[in-house]
Amino acid sequence: MRIVSVWLPRWPILRFLTAQMREPSDAPVDPARPFVLSAEASGGPRIAALNIPAEKYGLAKGDPLADARAKAEGLQVAVHDPVADDAALRHLTLWATRYTPSVSPWSDDNGADGFFLDITGAAHLFGGEEKLLADLSHRLDGFGLRARLAIADTPGAAWALSRYHPLHAVIMPSGQMTDALASLPIEALRLSPDTRTTLRRLGFKRIGALIDKPRAPFAARFETELLTRLDQALGRAAEPLPFIVSPPVYHSTRYLLEPIWTQDAVLAVATRLMKDLVHPLVRDGVGARALRLSLYRVDGDVSVVDIGLTLPTRDPSHVARLLNLKLEQHTHNIDAGFGFESLGLAVTAAESMHEQQSEFASVINGSYEAERRAQLIDHLQQRLGPDSVQQIMPLESHCPERAELAYPATPLTETWPTPDEGRQRPLLLLPNAEPALVTAAVPDGPPQRFRWRGILRDVLYSQGPERIAGEWWHSSDFQPTRDYYVVEDKVGHRFWLYREGLYERETTDARWFVHGLFA
Amino acid sequence: MVAYAELAVTTNFSFLRGASHPQEMVIVADALGLAAIGIADRNSFAGVVRAYDQWKKIRNEKQGPLQPGQELKTVKLLVGTRLVTIDGFEVLTYPKDRTAYGELCKLITKGNHLLDGKKAECLLTFEDILSVSDGQIFIVLPPDDLSSLFEQRLEALADAARGRAYLAGSHLYRGDDVRRLGLLNELGQRTGAPLVAINDVHYHGPERRALADVVTCIREKCTIHEAGFHLDANAERHLKSPRDMARLFRLHPEAIARTIDIANACQFTLDDLKNEYPDEPVPPGKTPQQHLEDLTWAGAQRRYPKDYYPEGVPAKVQKIIREELALIQKMDYARYFITVHDVVAFARSKKILCQGRGSAANSAVCYCLEITEINPETSDLLFARFISENRGEPPDIDVDFEHDRREEVMQYVYGRYGRERAAICATVIHYRSRRAIREVGKALGLTPDITAALSKTVWGSHADGLPDKHIRQAGLDPSNRALMQAVFLARELIGFPRHLSQHVGGFILTRGRLDETVPIGNGAMKDRTFIEWDKDDIDVLGLMKVDVLALGMLSCLRRGLDLMKDHYGTDYTLATLPKDDHPSSKPVYDMLSKADSVGVFQVESRAQMSMLPRLKPQRFYDLVIEVAIVRPGPIQGDMVHPYLRRRDGIEPEYYPSPSPKYGPANELEEVLKRTKGVPLFQEQAMQIAITAAEFTPDEADGLRRAMATFRHNGNVHLFRDKFIKRMTERGYDPTFVESCFGQIEGFGEYGFPESHAASFALLVYASAWIKCHHPEVFCAAILNSQPMGFYQPAQLVRDAREHGVEVKEVDVNYSQWDCTLEPASGGGDRLAVRLGFRQIQGLNKEELEKLIDARGNGFASVERLAAVAGVSRFTIERLAAADAFRSLDLDRRAALWAARRLDTIGIRKPMERKAHKKDTTSPLPLLAPHMSEELFPEPQISLPLMQLSEHVAEDYVATGLSLKAHPISFFRERLHRIGTITTAEHRRESLPQNKRITVAGLVLIRQMPGTAKGVVFLTIEDETGIANIIVWRKVFEKHRHVVMNSKFLAVTGRLQRAGLVIHVVAEDFRDLSKHLGELKDAETSLVATPSASPPSPDLSLLKSRDFH
C-alpha cells in the first residue's frame, strides 16, 4: 500500500484567506499582520487558529482572545467557522480524486487539517511518485495552499512524516518505516493527550524508544490505543481509511472533439446535458433545485457555474435561460483560455416534484397565490434583472419615512406584511413632506386652517398631536421633533400634517408640513 | 399656581430602565417647584436612600439663608416602589406609614426569595399585592390594551384599598390622548379607582432621551438600529412643571389635584428607620450602657492582671476608659460595642484569631473588650476623636478574621440574629469607563474592534473623557459622528448603577425585623442574604453595620502560634507576644531594618522593602509609620522625604503656622507632633482641614466623602479651592498647603487612618517576630495559609532555606496534608519543615487524609500503597509527578511506571474522568493487604534516565517549587557567555555605581503602581537571589511586549545603590522564555521544523504575580 498524506498547516486560516480572495470584503484581513480566528468557549472567546505573524507575538491556540488582544496590538480577529472548514476540506479532497478515486479527508483524530490519498498502483499514471507529489504540491501551491506532503506505506507513517519531517515533501521508500519513524517524536503517533503526556513523563519522547520494547508492560499501562497506533504506523495492523466518493446523483458529461469557447456553444452543450438528465429526474419524481456546470479547460483548469432555482425544475430551456444570465454576469470571471474540452452538468440539490393535476387545493391553502407570485417574480427577474424587482417590508421605526424598506424580491416570501393597526398612517405618504402655511395656537394647538399647494383649507376636525422625535443616531445635526395631526377639511378631505419643532424647547418659529393623504 | 406631585419616577436603580440618578430627579423636581416627588423603582427600594440624601442636602442648604418666620419650601420626597407582577400588572405603591412600608419590604423580600440564587427579577403575583394592601396607596398603571382581566383586577384592588386606589393616566403624545384619558377617567369612576395624573418619568430632562434609548438597547440586547418600537417615539418621559402638567390634563384638573392628596396622605419617610440597634447580647434587667461598662471593667481586670499590675488598672487607662464610656453613653452607642464584642467573643471561643480596626476600634474600650490588641497604656494613640460627636455618624469597627474560618463567624451572626434581622449590605456596581464605552458602542452598532480600541484609550483617564488626540492615536477618526455620540453617551453612563452585588462582609443588624426595613435578596453564594442598600446608604440612614472581613495573615499567625505551642511549648497570643520592652524584640527590629521581610505582613512589598532600611524601625510606633508611609497619600503629598530627613535629624522638626493674627503658631503642633510635623495619617489631614483651613466638621466630612468617591463625581475642586484659599489666607506657606491637599487626594482611595495602621502594625510585628525567632515555624505556617501575600511558595521556601531552615520534600511516607515540622536531618535544635501534600496541585484533601491514616509504618511499594490506602490512580500519578515516592527509592518516572499498571493488575479500577473524586474503594479489598508486586512479574523495562534539569522543571509543574536546584542554574554557563552576572554578584559592593550590567532570571513579580506613573517594577530571581529592576516609562513603552510577557528575562541596565537598596535601571531586555522548554527536553533537541508544532513545553510551570 502507498499512501500520500497531505497536511495543510493552519488550515482554518488558509481557508479563511482563500475565501476572502474570492469574496473581497470592505475591511480585508492582512495576512502579513497578526490574525486569529476565535471560537466561543466557556469564559469568553479563545483562539481557534492563528497565522505565523500572530505566533511570533507569542500567541497560541487556546489562548483567551482578550489576552491575545492585549499582547498583539491591532490583532485581526474573525470568527472561526469549523463547518465551513470541514466542507472546504471535503471539497479539496474531492478535487484530489483527479489522482486516485480513493481519497479520505482527515477526521478530528487526525487534526481535520489534511487528507490521505491511496495511490497504490496509481502513481505510474503520473510518471511515478516523485512526479505525482511534485504535481500535487505545485497545484496546491497554485491554490495558495502551502501543504506538507509525504508518501509512505501506511497512513500512520505518511501522517507522521508529513507532520514531523523537516522536509516539505518526503517519500519514504517501501519497507523502511522503522528507521524513518524512530527519530520522530511520539506525538507523530496520533495519540490522545493523556497517553502523550504520560509517555513524555516516563521519558519516552521518540518513537524509536518504543519500537522493539517488550509489549506486555506497555499493554498493561496504556489503553490499546498506544500499541494500535504504533502497529498502524509500522504496518503491523491495518488502518482502513474512510474514503469518500463524490455524490453526483444526477450527472452527465460531454467530451468534445473540438474545444469550444463561445457562450452560445457552451449553452448549447449545457442544454443537451440537461436533456440527458430529464429522464432520471422524472424516473425518481424529483426536479433540480441547484445545478452545477463544470467547464474543463484544455490546460487542465476547471471553472464552475452554480445556479439555484426557486422551485424544482426539469425544464432544459428554463435551465439554459438561467445559465445564460449567470454566464453573462460571470464572463469576466470565466477565462476560456484555449477553450473547454469537456463539460459536466450535475444536479447538486434535488427536491421531489409532483405533477400538478389540479390547482384547486393550492388555491384553498394559499400556496397557489404564493406559486403565482413566485412565477411572476421569476419571470420579471429574468427579464429585468434580479435587482429590478423589489418588495416592501415594514421596519420598526417611529419615523414615518423610515418605517418601510424596499429590497430585492425573492419569490420565496411566504407572508406579506399586514398594516400596523396601532398607528394611524395615511394611505399615501408623500415622498417628501411639503411645506404648508398653517394657523394654529401656540404652543401645541391643532391646525385651524392651512394653505397647501395654493389652496386654503379650513379644518373641521383634528386629532393629535402624535409627537415623534428625530432619530438622533442617524445624524449629529439637530433633528426637530414633529407633532403630527390628522385633520379633515370642510369638504371631507383628510390630511396628515405636522408641526416641526417644539415651542420653547426647540424653536420659536415652528414650520408646518403636509406629509400624507388619507382616502 | 397649580400644585402637582410627580408620583411615577423611575430612576437608574431600575437597572437599564431609568436614565437619571435619583439625585438628579430630586434636584430637578425641587427646581421645577413640584409639591412632591415619588421615587418608585421596579420592585425595589434601592435608589430611595440616594434621593433622600440629596433631599436632605437641599433642605439644609435652604434652611441656612431662611429668615425667621419664612416657610421652608422644598419638594416632598415620597418613598415607594413600582410593583410589577410576573404577568405584567404594574402598580405604583406608596406606603402611608412605617408599618405599611415594612409590609412592602417583606413582600419584595418574599419575591426575591423565590429566586433560588439565580439572578432574575423579583417574582410577584397579583394576589401578593392584594395581600399587603393595608396602608398602601396604589396607583395602577393601565396596559396599552385595556382587557377585562385588567378591569377585574382594578376593581379588586379598589375594593381592597377603598379610597386608596387610583388609576394612572399619562399624556403619551400618541395622537389619541384625549380619547384615551377620557376612557381611563370613565374606567376609574366605574371601578372606584379615580384617575390620577402622572408623567411616568424615566429621566430628569428631555436631553437624556438618547441615553434612555441606549440603556433600552443594552437591556434588550440589540443595537439602536434594530431596537425599533422598543424605543419611545419622543422625549416626553421627563419631569415636567406643574404648569405643563396642568395644561396637558386641562380636561381632568381633578387628576392633577389628586396627586397632592396622595402626597399629603403619605406620612412615611426614611427618618422613621433610624437607630434600631439590636440589643440581643444585653442580659435582661440591665441597660446596654450598664452591660458595656461591666464588660469593659471586667475586661480591664483581665488585661491588667494583678500579677503584673499590683496597683490594678493603670490610672491613665482608667481615665481614658471613663472618658470613652461617657462619650459612648452620650451618643447611645453601647449596643454597637456590645454587638461587636459578642461577635468577637464567639470567634475567641472558637479560637478564631481576629482583630478590629476602624475609627472606633483603637479605643481603650475595644482593648478591654478584646476587640483590638493595641494597649492604650503603652500606645500614644489619641482616642477622643474616635467618634465624631458632631457628625452623629455611627461608629465604625471592622473586624478581620482568619481567612479560612470567617464563614463560621458569618454563620454565627446569621444564627444569632436570624435571617430576618441580619444580612450583608450591598455593593452597587457602577458602570466604569471601559464597560460603559463597550456597551454603548455595542448599542450604537459599532464593531467590537472599534469599541475595543476606544475602551483602550479610555483606560487610565477617568471622568475627564477622551481627548481627540487619544482617539486619533487609537487609529480612529474623532470627527466620526457615531464615535462622538458613543463617547458622549458613555461619559453619561459612567457612574450609573449596573447591578447590586454583595459587600465582602458588612453585616447590617437591626433590633426589629430587617426585612421590614429594607428588602433582602439572596446572594450568588449559598447561605448569603443581602439587602438592597450599600454602605453609603447605611451611613445616611445610620443603620448599624459590623464588618466581618477576612485576612489571610491572621490564618498564618494562628497556625504559627499553634506550631510554636506544639513544638516549643510556648503559649503566645497576639497580645502576649514579647513586646518592645522585651529583649527578644531587638532582633526583630534589626531584621526588619535590613529589609529581611519576605512574607512579613504589609512590609514585604518592594516599596516597603526599600523603605525599611531608610526608616530603620526601632519600636512599635515606627512600624505604625512604616505601614502608613508607603501609601499613595504620603507619596503623592511628597511627605515621605521630609519625614525621613527629620527622623534622621538632617532637618529640624518644624510646624507650619498661620500668620499670628489668625491663630496660635503651634495650632498644628498638637496634630502633627507624633509624626514630626509631617502629616502621614488620614485623620491628620482631616484635622488640618478643620484646624488650619477652618473647615466645619461637616465640611471636613464632606471633603472625606468627596475624596472617597472622587472618581465618580467631580466636586473635589470645590473643596480644593476652599481648602487652599483659607489656609493661604491664614498665612500658611502655599507649598505646604499644596502638598497637604495632594496628600488628601491620595488618601481618597487608599485612606489609611492611624488606627488602621496601628492594627496592621501589630500584625507586622507578630509575623516578623515569628519569622525572626522561628523561621521554620513561619515558613510552615505561611505555606499552609497560601494563597496569600506577595510571594510564591518557591520564594518563601527559598527565603527559609537562606535563614538556615532545612526544608524536606513532599513524601508519601512522611508528609501530612499541611506542611509540618520534624527533626532536622543533622539533628540540632531547629526543626525542619516537611512540605505537605497541599503543595501538590490538584490533590483531594480527604483522599490524602485517608492515605495518611492507612500509612502505619510506611508503604513499601506503590502497589501496596494503592491497595491499602485506596486512593485513586489519578492521585497516585499526581504524587508520582511531584516525585513523592523517594522514600520507596523510586523517582517520579519509576513511580509513574508502577502507577500506570495498577488498573491492569486489578488494584485500582480503570481510571475514569474525575474518578479521584468518588472512586476510592478497592475492587479487591480482601486480597489487597496480601497483594504485592511480586505476584505480577513482568519484563523489566529500563526507563530513560531523567536529567536533573528535567526533574526541576517537573517539580515546578507539580508543586510550584523545587528543592533540587534552581531552574536558572542550568543556564548559568550560557548566561555567563553572554556576559550575565548572577544576582549575588550584582550585590557586591565592589561594583561601581551606575555600572552597566546584565542580570537574568525568572520574573517573579511585575508591578505598575498607580503612584509611579508608567513605571514598571520587576523582580527577577536566579539561583543566587533576586534583583530589583526599574523600567522607566520610555523604556517600557519600547519593550512593552517583552517586559509584560517574558518568564525568563535578561536585563541590561545601570546599577543603582542607595544603602542596602539596589536597583537595576533597565535599558535593554532579552526574552529567554523559550529556552525554559529545554529544561524538560534536555536530552533531545527536536528536529521538528518551525511550522510543525513541536510539543509545546509547559511554560506555565513558572508563574509570576502581576500587580497593577
Query: Would the CB atoms of B231 and A398 count as touching at under 8 Å?
Result: yes
Angle between helix axes B448-458 and B481-493 (nearest 10 degrees) is 50
Query: Would the CB atoms of A472 and B900 count as touching at under 8 Å?
Result: no
Give yes or no for a contact between A106 and A113, defined as CB atoms under 8 angstroms apart: yes
Chain A contact probe: residue of B897, B1091, B1099 with most A CBs at under 10 A: B1091
The Cα–Cα gap between A288 and A313 comes to 5
pLDDT at B277 over 90: no
Contacts of A394 in chain B (CB under 8 A): none
Query: Would the CB atoms of A424 and B904 count as touching at under 8 Å?
Result: no
- pLDDT tens profile B556-574: 999 999 999 999 989 898 8
Residues 6+ apart with CB under 8 A from B454: B437, B441, B446, B466, B471, B474, B476, B483, B486, B487
Give yes or no for a contact between A298 and A338, defined as CB atoms under 8 angstroms apart: yes
Give yes or no for a contact between B230 and B192, defined as CB atoms under 8 angstroms apart: no
Q: What is the nearest CA distance from A165 to chain B, expressed in angstroms?
A: 7
Contacts of B482 in chain A (CB under 8 A): 473
Amino acid at B307: D
Q: Which of B42, B48, B44 is nearest to B88 (CA)?
A: B42
Q: Which of B209, B236, B485 sits opposite A476 (nearest CB)?
A: B485
Phi-psi region of B709 (alpha: psi -120 to 50; beta: other; left: phi over 0): alpha
pLDDT at A358 over 60: no
Which range among A140-154, A353-367, B686-700 has the greatest average pLDDT? A140-154
pLDDT at A27 over 60: yes
The Cα–Cα gap between B369 and B363 comes to 10
Average pLDDT of B960-978?
90
Q: Give the per-residue pLDDT at B749.
A: 56
Chain A contact probe: residue of B245, B890, B1089 with most A CBs at under 10 A: B1089
Q: Which of B977, B1072, B947, B967 is nearest to B1024 (CA)?
A: B967
- pLDDT tens profile A43-74: 678 899 999 999 888 788 888 887 787 777 77
Burial of B1032 (0-12, 13-18, 19+ CB in 10 A): middle
Q: Which residue of A has its CA nearest to B480?
A: A476
Q: Cell numbers at residue B414, please?
A: 446569621
Give yes or no for a contact between B866 and B908, defined as CB atoms under 8 angstroms apart: yes
Confidence band for B781, pLDDT divided at 50, 70 and 90: very high
CA angle B813, B816, B817 (to 5 degrees): 130
Q: Which of B657, B676, B636, B646 is nearest to B733 (CA)?
A: B657
Q: Which of B1006, B1027, B1002 is nearest to B1017 (CA)?
A: B1006
Q: Give the per-residue pLDDT at B289.
A: 92
Query: Would the CB atoms of A164 and B1088 count as touching at under 8 Å?
Result: yes
Contacts of A69 in chain B (CB under 8 A): 452
pLDDT at B444 over 80: yes
Radius of gyration (C-alpha) of chain A in whole angstroms = 34
Contacts of A196 in chain B (CB under 8 A): 1095
Contacts of B175 in chain A (CB under 8 A): 424, 463-466, 484-486
Query: Would the CB atoms of A202 and B954 count as touching at under 8 Å?
Result: no
Residues 6+ apart with CB under 8 A from B989: none
- Looking up cell 440624601, which residue turns up? B53
Q: Which of B688, B675, B685 is nearest to B615 (CA)?
A: B675
The Cα–Cα gap between B656 and B974 comes to 59
Confidence band for B468, pLDDT divided at 50, 70 and 90: low
Query: Would the CB atoms of A198 and B174 count as touching at under 8 Å?
Result: no
Give yes or no for a contact between B92 and B14, defined as CB atoms under 8 angstroms apart: no
Query: Would the CB atoms of A473 and B1086 count as touching at under 8 Å?
Result: no
Measured CA to CA in angstroms, residue A263 lies from A309, A324, A336, B1039 at distances of 21, 8, 10, 61
Least confident of B296-300, B426-430, B914-918: B914-918
Q: How many helices (H) and strands (E) does chain B have?
A: 44, 23
Chain A contact probe: residue of B145, B146, B174 with most A CBs at under 10 A: B174
- pLDDT tens profile B349-401: 998 999 888 767 768 888 899 888 777 776 655 544 545 555 556 677 889 99
The mean of the pLDDT values for chain B is 84
Contacts of A9 in chain B (CB under 8 A): 1091-1092
DSSP A21-53: HHS--SS---TTS-EEEEE--TTS-EEEEE-HH
The Cα–Cα gap between A82 and A111 comes to 12
Helix-strand-coil percent breakdown of chain A, rounded to 5?
35, 30, 35
- pLDDT tens profile B35-77: 999 999 999 999 999 999 999 989 888 877 667 777 778 899 9
The Cα–Cα gap between B154 and B160 comes to 10
Q: Give the per-residue pLDDT at A347.
A: 86
Phi-psi region of B827 (alpha: psi -120 to 50; beta: other; left: phi over 0): left
The Cα–Cα gap between B154 and B141 comes to 10
Give yes or no for a contact between A445 and A427, defined as CB atoms under 8 angstroms apart: no
The Cα–Cα gap between B965 and B957 comes to 14
Q: Give the per-residue pLDDT at B300.
A: 92
Confidence band for B1098, pLDDT divided at 50, 70 and 90: very low
Give this complex's ipTM: 0.71
Q: What is the nearest CA distance from A177 to chain B, expressed in angstroms?
A: 18
Cβ count near B100 (within 10 Å): 22
Least confident of A235-239, A467-471, A512-516, B393-397: B393-397
Give yes or no for a contact between A234 and A154, defined as CB atoms under 8 angstroms apart: yes
Query: Would the CB atoms of A217 and B233 count as touching at under 8 Å?
Result: no
Q: What is the nearest CA distance from A159 to chain B, expressed in angstroms?
A: 12
The Cα–Cα gap between B51 and B37 comes to 10
Cis bond upstream, residue A259 (ω within 30): no
Q: Which of B224, B234, B938 sits opposite A467 (nearest CB)?
A: B234
Q: Please report which helix (H) or strand (E) contains residue B140, including its range.
A: strand B136-141
Q: Where are the beta strands (DSSP E) in A86-243?
A: 103-105, 114-118, 148-152, 169-171
Average pLDDT of B576-587?
89
Contacts of A201 in chain B (CB under 8 A): 881, 892-893, 896, 954
Q: What is the nearest CA distance from B373 to chain A, expressed in angstroms?
A: 44
Query: Would the CB atoms of A198 and B900 count as touching at under 8 Å?
Result: yes
Local structure of residue B684 (DSSP, 8 states): H
Query: Would the CB atoms of B484 and A486 count as touching at under 8 Å?
Result: no
The Cα–Cα gap between B813 and B797 comes to 21
Contacts of B444 in chain A (CB under 8 A): 473
Q: Where are the beta strands (DSSP E) in A225-323?
A: 250-260, 286-297, 302-313
Query: Would the CB atoms of A468 and B233 count as touching at under 8 Å?
Result: yes
DSSP A255-279: EEEEEE-SHHHHHHHHHHHHHHHHH
Q: What is the nearest CA distance from B678 to chain A, expressed in angstroms?
A: 42
Q: Give the per-residue pLDDT at B924.
A: 47
Q: What is the nearest CA distance from B944 to chain A, expressed in angstroms?
A: 5
Query: Would the CB atoms of A213 and B233 count as touching at under 8 Å?
Result: no
The Cα–Cα gap between B1066 and B1034 comes to 11
Residue B522: beta bridge partners?
Answer: B529
Average pLDDT of B223-252?
93
A-B C-beta contacts closer than 8 Å? 129
Q: Which of A77, A204, A397 sits opposite B944 (nearest CB)?
A: A204
Q: Which of A164, A201, A466 sits opposite B881 (nearest CB)?
A: A201
The Cα–Cα gap between B812 and B885 comes to 6
pLDDT at B940 over 90: no
Give yes or no for a contact between B548 and B401, defined as CB atoms under 8 angstroms apart: yes
- pLDDT tens profile A65-120: 877 877 777 788 888 998 889 888 988 887 887 788 788 999 888 888 999 999 98
Q: Is the dihedral of CA B845, B851, B855, B858 positive or negative?
A: negative
The Cα–Cα gap between B1001 and B975 comes to 10
pLDDT at B926 over 50: no
Q: Cell numbers at residue B371, please?
A: 476587640
Q: Which residue of A has its CA nearest to B954?
A: A201
- pLDDT tens profile B1024-1082: 988 999 999 888 888 877 887 788 999 999 999 877 778 899 999 998 888 888 887 65
Q: What is the nearest CA distance from B940 to chain A, expressed in angstroms?
A: 8
Query: Would the CB atoms of A9 and B1045 count as touching at under 8 Å?
Result: no
pLDDT at B408 over 50: yes
pLDDT at B451 over 60: yes
- Looking up cell 389628586, which residue turns up? B258
